[in-house]
C-alpha cells in the first residue's frame, strides 16, 4: 500500500474588517410638483421593482410628508435606483439607514 499524501487546501484568512457588513442605505424621494402622480409611480416601480400599491404609498408619502424612503439596500443598488429616478429629473438623495 502506497502512502498517498493529500494536498492541504488553501485557506483564506478573513479579517475582522472583511466580515463587517456595511449598514444599509436609503434612497429618499422628495416631493415633486412637476410630474404627475402616475409618472412618479411608474418611475418608482421601474427603479425599485416594487408593486404598484407600494409605489403609490411611497409617492403619496413623498407628496404629503415632503419625502419618503423609496428603497433600502446596499449602496451600489441604491445608487442604481437613484440614477433611474433621476432619469425623469426626480429629486432623490442617498443616506445611511439609521
- Using pLDDT thresholds of 50, 70 and 90, give the confidence band for residue 14: very low
CA-CA-CA-CA torsion for 90, 91, 96, 98, nearest 10 degrees? -100
Residue 16 within any structural domain of the chain: no
Longest dimension (CA), the chain: 83
Give Cα 38 distance to the centre of its chain.
22
Could you tell me the residue range of the domain that residue 81 belongs to?
Answer: 36-96
Residue 27 within any structural domain of the chain: no
Residue 62 within any structural domain of the chain: yes
Residue 25, φ and ψ in degrees, nearest 5: -115, 155
Residue 24 parent element (H or E): none
Residue 12 within any structural domain of the chain: no
Residue 7 has pLDDT above 90, yes or no: no
Residue 31 within any structural domain of the chain: no
19-28, 53-62, 82-91: least confidently modelled range? 19-28
Number of separate domains in the chain: 1
Structure confidence by residue, pLDDT tens digits, 30-58: 999 999 999 999 999 999 999 999 999 99
Residue 11 within any structural domain of the chain: no
Residue 79 within any structural domain of the chain: yes
Amino acid at each position: 500500500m502506497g502512502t498517498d499524501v493529500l494536498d492541504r487546501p488553501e485557506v483564506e484568512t478573513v479579517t475582522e474588517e472583511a466580515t463587517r457588513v456595511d449598514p444599509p442605505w436609503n434612497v429618499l424621494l422628495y416631493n415633486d410638483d412637476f410630474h404627475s402622480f402616475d409618472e412618479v409611480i411608474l418611475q418608482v416601480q421601474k427603479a425599485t421593482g416594487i408593486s404598484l400599491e407600494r409605489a403609490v404609498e411611497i409617492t403619496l408619502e413623498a407628496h404629503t410628508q415632503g419625502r419618503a424612503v423609496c428603497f433600502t439596500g446596499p449602496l451600489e443598488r441604491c445608487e442604481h435606483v437613484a440614477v433611474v429616478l433621476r432619469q425623469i429629473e426626480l429629486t432623490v438623495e442617498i443616506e445611511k439607514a439609521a
